[in-house]
Amino acid sequence: MQEHDLNFVRVEMAIAEAPPRSGKGLIGWIRNNLFASLGDTILTLLGVALVVLIVPPLADWLFLHAQWTGTDRTFCATKAQGGIHPDGWSGACWAFVGQKFQQFLYGRYPIAERWRVDLVGALFLVLLVPLLIPRVPRKGLNALLFFVAYPIVSFFLLLGGWFGLSHVETPLWGGLMVTLVLSFVGIVASFPMGVLLALGRRSRLPIVKGVCVAFIEIVRGVPLVTVLFMASVMLPLFLPPGTTFDKLLRALVGVSIFAGAYMAEVIRGGLQAIPTGQYDGADSLGLSYWQKMGLIVLPQAVKLVIPGIVNEFIGLFKDTTLVYIIGMFDLLGTVTQNFSDANWASPQTPLSGLVFAGFVYWCFCFAMSRYSQFIERRLDRERKR
Amino acid sequence: MVSQQNGRASVFYDPKIRGIFFQAVLFAALAVFVSWIAGNTIANLRRAHIASGFGFLNSRAGFDVSNALIPYSSDSTIARALLVGLLNTLLVAAAGIVTATAIGFLVGIGRLARNWLVRQICTIYIEIFRNIPPLLVIFFWYMGVLSVLPLPRNSIKFPFDMYLNSRGFYMPAPVLGEGAWVTGAAFMTGIILAFVSASWARRRQMATGRRPSVLWVAIALIVGLPLAAFALTGFPLSLDVPKASVFNLTGGIQVKPEFLSLYLALSFYTAAFIAEIVRAGILGVNRGQTEAAYSLGLKPGPTLRLVIVPQALRIIVPPLTSQYLNLTKNTSLAVAVGYADLVAIGGTILNQTGQAVEIVAIWMVVYLGISLVVSVLMNWFNAKTALKEK
């Protein structure tokens, strides 16, 4: 009965206004992101000053003035220091890194036997890469090969003394190889230890729980250096008189114990995140404790904490540098040891060697942290589905 | 079958009895293991003619320590040497924690800044320092930077009589004159009065809804009061300025390169982790909280102080605690550059006397004690900031 329809319904879209010119394009972006306010402008200017102060001298030192080739210290020293460069020269001594590169990788491992280290490294990559890519099938078999078969094969290959391979004593091992061996063994040994300790910590049996809590908290409460000292000084005391004990093995024991305690806390986090319904469900199916944990709880818990495990591994990888303190030569140790080589001693050598070692460590750790983030995003997506 | 008819399972399947049985087995195994280790240790020590026990702590140390905070000479006892080490550990840890927190908060907030350049610089800082072993950073400062600085003769000069050379960093030392304690007392009084005025302001705000100015009063009390006392007692302070002699600088405070490299490396390394914690904490506060505060009419400053920071702290404090503990434990890396911390001095004693068990026991007790104290303090702080649910 209405004469006029007072409702107004707009049928066509209004023509969009162009955004203000100042907020558009490169100038708009610069204004919004760098000079939005007086404070921002000051910060930007300070930032530019910082970049100008650091980047050009750094680039000069790293690349432009760097010495890339050479056979001894004269190539990396100024005339006053007995070298070839004009006074006041300062640049990276990559010649030193180039000459010592093999040693940084293998330590004093006999040159004729280095193919064994290469083979172990190649096997490592062949088994690791498919394990890291989620799409590749047969994860179980792959993991079994990687975590059980591979360490055994590597042990025989690296140490030798079997199948006609000559025996290479561990004091000859060094460089990146030792770093990788330490962190790999640390992580492989710490995992079962961490699982047992985490289960023990959540156990209802008071003695089991007490022992596990005490172990975890004591090891986590002291620095790795003291654990390593303990492994290197006290292990020989603990064993029957006359037992000799390989130095590398002592470091491995120390690193594994340390990593195990930290791993236990990561896995405990996963165990706590599993809803009680899963435990109850397993109980109501009549599964035993180990069936319940092994088939229902742990697979879910471990999957949940993969990012945490990778982070633990990054920490362990960085911590292996500490074996230098108990007199072993991992990558950092080998690099540092070479600073005292009279043939290469120059003011530029330490900085160059350390920058190189830092770059290697950085590459490994950065790659691992990126992988951990990737897995985290993937798990998040699965959980939301 | 019989047992089932009785409505009970066999004793073998009783979880309580199984539990007791397994624990007894574990306990027995542990006891055997420990006694085996103890037996071996005693036999080994006897063979090496080392007397166990802590009696060696009272004997003469016989080695020098280059940076002792308390009077110490090689004639002092071993116990005193360990105390020197402990104090050095605590010094580095405290200085590192303060600096790492300051850098970490700045960088963490910087990563969330609107300014693109600041964001990038902060990200690069974090990604570099998080992924490099701290020991390498220590060496970087020690061997790469500080040891190639000029000799004392050609020291780099800074304003206010500060010098930097290959032997460390030199700065003027304040020498307290007569009556300087009045200034110190005034400072403490100022702090206490500032707390009192803050709590008065809070009560006033609760009662009237109006908030009296707190900040300016606090600044006046904490800075003004000691300054006034300082002026009234006739400026009882002089400076011991480092002076150049032929080969060295004398006077003033000398910060040794060992301390400097350890302190810088640990601060920069830990700051990268703290920055990420701070960022996560701030991002963890729901955006609705800010919007709600604005809609209540709060200005950006009070919004940050009263709404965002208290909630962010709740997320930040627990992981921050573990970073502080990590830094404290990482001070043990001092042994690599020869800074005389607890581990370095303990290691020296260990090599001299062979008292491995005792030294390691002392290390463990001390570090566990420090961890415990830091944990208790931070848990108290956490309980204060934590969500108070009814």
Q: pLDDT per residue over A149-158, tens digit each?
A: 888 888 888 8
pLDDT in tens, B50-65: 777 777 777 777 777 7
Mean pLDDT, range B143-169, rounded to an integer:
77
Report the percent of chain A where pLDDT is more than 90.
19
Residue B30 touches partner A, C-beta closer than 8 Å: yes
Contact B356 A34 (CB under 8 A): no
Residue A370 pLDDT more than 80?
yes
How does residue B9 score in pLDDT terms, banded at 50, 70 and 90? low
pLDDT recorded at residue A234: 81
Contact residues on chain A for B117, CB-CB shorter than 8 A: 34, 43-44, 47-48, 51
pLDDT recorded at residue B4: 47
pLDDT recorded at residue B218: 84
Query: Which of B33-37, B201-205, B377-381 bottoms out in mean pLDDT, i.e. has the lowest?
Result: B377-381
pLDDT recorded at residue A258: 92
Contact A211 B26 (CB under 8 A): yes
pLDDT recorded at residue B6: 52
Mean pLDDT, range B215-223, rounded to an integer:
84
Mean pLDDT, range B270-284, rounded to an integer:
92
Whether B78 and B57 have beta carbons less than 8 Å apart is answered as yes
For A233, which of B137, B139, B356 is closest by C-beta distance?
Answer: B356
Distance CA A359, CA B132 (A): 8
Mean pLDDT, range B118-142, rounded to an integer:
92
Which range of A92-101, A270-279, B266-275, B346-355 scores highest in mean pLDDT? It is B266-275
Query: Which of A170-174, B86-90, B135-139 bottoms out in mean pLDDT, i.e. has the lowest?
Result: A170-174
pLDDT recorded at residue B3: 44
Residue B33 touches partner A, C-beta closer than 8 Å: no
Query: Which residues 6+ apart lie within 8 Å of B50 measured at CB?
Result: B353, B354, B355
pLDDT recorded at residue A72: 82
pLDDT recorded at residue A229: 86
Whether A237 and B44 have beta carbons less than 8 Å apart is answered as yes
Report the percent of chain B where pLDDT is more than 70.
95
Query: Which of A42-56, A320-334, B370-384 bottoms out in mean pLDDT, i.e. has the lowest?
Result: B370-384
Q: What is the mean pLDDT of chain B?
A: 83
Distance CA B108, CA B273 (A): 9
User: What does the domain layout of chain A look like in residue ranges?
Assistant: 16-59, 97-384
Contact B26 A208 (CB under 8 A): yes
Mean pLDDT, range A79-103, rounded to an integer:
83
pLDDT in tens, A8-34: 888 888 888 887 776 677 888 888 788
Distance CA B232, CA A326 (A): 57
Contact B371 A221 (CB under 8 A): yes
Mean pLDDT, range B182-202, rounded to an integer:
87
Which range of A257-261, B171-175, B215-219, B223-227 scores highest in mean pLDDT? It is A257-261
Whether A18 and B100 have beta carbons less than 8 Å apart is answered as no
How does residue B2 score in pLDDT terms, banded at 50, 70 and 90? very low
pLDDT recorded at residue A161: 75
Distance CA A384, CA B129 (A): 33
Report the percent of chain A where pLDDT is more than 70.
97
Contact A225 B333 (CB under 8 A): yes
Contact residues on chain A for B40, CB-CB shorter than 8 A: 237-241
Interface of B with A in 99-158 (CB under 8 A): 113-118, 121, 127-128, 130-137, 139-140, 143-145, 147-148
**For the structural domain made of A97-384, what CATH number should be given?**
1.10.3720.10
pLDDT in tens, B315-333: 888 888 889 989 999 999 9
For B139, which of A205, A240, A336 is closest by C-beta distance?
Answer: A336
Distance CA A64, CA A58 (A): 9
pLDDT recorded at residue A12: 85
Residue A164 touches partner B, C-beta closer than 8 Å: no
How does residue B246 score in pLDDT terms, banded at 50, 70 and 90? low
Phi, psi of B249 (to 5 degrees): -100, 135
**Cβ burial B182-204 (10 Å sphere, 16+ → b, else e):** ebeebbeebeebbeebeeebeee
Contact A354 B140 (CB under 8 A): yes
pLDDT recorded at residue B204: 86
Interface of B with A in 317-346 (CB under 8 A): 329-333, 335-336, 343
Residue B350 pLDDT more than 50?
yes
pLDDT recorded at residue B278: 92
Task: Dig out the tokens for A9 from the structure.
Answer: 């319904």
Distance CA A230, CA A237 (A): 10
Contact residues on chain B for A361, CB-CB shorter than 8 A: 131-133, 136
Contact residues on chain B for A223, CB-CB shorter than 8 A: 329-332, 343, 367
Residue B326: closest C-alpha in chain A: A223
Contact residues on chain A for B132, CB-CB shorter than 8 A: 318, 358, 361-362, 365
Contact B41 A238 (CB under 8 A): yes
Residue A316: closest C-alpha in chain B: B133
Query: Which residues 6+ apart lie within 8 Å of A301 measured at CB?
Result: A267, A270, A271, A273, A274
A81 or A180: which carries more pLDDT confidence? A180
Q: How many CB atoms lie within 10 A of CB A374?
A: 14
Closest approach of B132 to chain A, Cα-based (Å): 5
Residue B15 pLDDT more than 90?
no
Mean pLDDT, range A60-86, rounded to an integer:
82
Mean pLDDT, range B198-221, rounded to an integer:
83
Residue B354: closest C-alpha in chain A: A233
For B360, which of A36, A40, A234 is closest by C-beta distance?
Answer: A234
For B143, which of A43, A230, A350 is closest by C-beta distance?
Answer: A350
Supply the DSSP symbol for B67.
S
SS3 B13: helix
If you count residue pairs, one on A and one on B, with CB atoms under 8 Å apart, how many are there? 157
Residue A122 pLDDT more than 70?
yes
SS (H, E, C) chain A: CCCCCCCCCCCCCCCCCCCCHHHCHHHHHHHHHCCCCHHHHHHHHHHHHHHHHHHHHHHHHHHHCCECCCCCHHHHCEHHHCCCECCCCCCCEHHHHHHHHHHHHHECCCHHHHHHHHHHHHHHHHHHHHHHCCCCCCHHHHHHHHHHHHHHHHHHHHHCCCCCCCCCCHHHECHHHHHHHHHHHHHHHHHHHHHHHHHHHCCCCHHHHHHHHHHHHHHHHCCHHHHHHHHHHHHHHHCCCCCCCCHHHHHHHHHHHHHHHHHHHHHHHHHHHCCHHHHHHHHHCCCCHHHHHHHHHHHHHHHHCHHHHHHHHHHHHHHHHHHHHHCCCEHHHHHHHHCCCCCCCCCCHHHHHHHHHHHHHHHHHHHHHHHHHHHHHHHHHHHHC
